[in-house]
Amino acid sequence: MTAGIASRVAMLALTGSLVMSSPLAVASGDAVVAARQASMKAMAAAAKTVAEMFDGKRAYDPAGFKAAAEALRARTGSALIGEFPAGTLGAPSGAK
C-alpha cells in the first residue's frame, strides 16, 4: 500500500470521526443533512476497516478490504460533492 493511499485513508478516518463526534443534529424532515451524515458514517466505517487492517488490529481480508475501498470510492469525489448541492450550504441548516 503506498504512503499516499494510507495517508488518504487516515485523513478520511479523521474527517469521519470529527464529523461524527461534533454535535450534528438532524432536524426532522431535513433529508439532505440525514443523507450526508449517513454517507459520512459509511465512509468512517470503511476507513476504520482499512486502518485496522493496516495497524494489524484486524486480520487482512482481501474481500473485506475491497468492499471497504469500494465503499470509499463510491462516496468520495463527485459523489461527495453531490451531497452538497447548490443552495444547501450555509444558513438555514438542519446541521448544528
In a domain, 4, yes or no: no
Encoded amino acid at 45, one letter: A
Long-range contacts of 76-79 (CB under 8 A, 24+ apart): 76/12, 76/43, 79/39
In a domain, 24, yes or no: yes
Helix (H, G, I), strand (E, B) or coil at 60: coil
The boundaries of the domain holding residue 14 are 9-82
Counted domains in the chain: 1
Query: How many helices, marked H, and strands, marked E, lie in the chain?
Result: 4, 0
Q: Is the pLDDT of residue 59 over 60?
A: yes
Contact status, residue 40 vs residue 16, Cβ threshold 8 Å: yes
In a domain, 93, yes or no: no
In a domain, 30, yes or no: yes
pLDDT tens for residues 13-55? 555 544 444 444 444 347 888 889 999 999 999 999 999 999 9
> Widest CA span of the chain, in angstroms?
45
Q: Is the pLDDT of residue 67 over 50?
A: yes
